[in-house]
Amino acid sequence: MTTTNIHGRRIGEDHPRATLTDQDVALIFAMLDERDAALERWKGEGMDAWQIDNALTLTGLSYRLIADKFNIDKSTVFKIASGARRSQTTE
């Protein structure tokens, strides 16, 4: 069954130009949720930006490392996180 938005247009992995599966995007969202929780925790602990950047790299939760895991550009991860990509809902 093809996934469509409220206008009947194909979305998600059913879109002809999709490069990620819906499962991949779900995994990216899960990693982004984990990243957000870690950021809140580290900010609450008083870590500065440099320490947070290092911690993101060590935990594999930087946009660059998430992108590397899925062979995509880090701007794509940012667009998914900000809602610019994969933000449509089904009908």
Q: What's at 69, amino acid-wise?
A: K
Closest CA to 71 of 26, 14, 24: 24
Q: Which residues pair with 10 in a beta bridge?
A: 4
The overall pTM is greater than 0.85:
no
CA dist., res. 20 & res. 24, Å (int): 6
> Rounded to whole angstroms, what are the CA distances from 16 to 10, 42, 54, 91?
8, 40, 37, 18
Q: What is the reported pLDDT for 38?
A: 97
% of the chain exceeding 90 in pLDDT: 63
Ramachandran quadrant class, 84 (left: phi over 0; alpha: psi -120 to 50; beta: rest): alpha
pLDDT tens digits for 30-64?
A: 999 999 999 999 999 999 999 999 999 999 999 99
Q: What is the reported pLDDT for 85?
A: 67
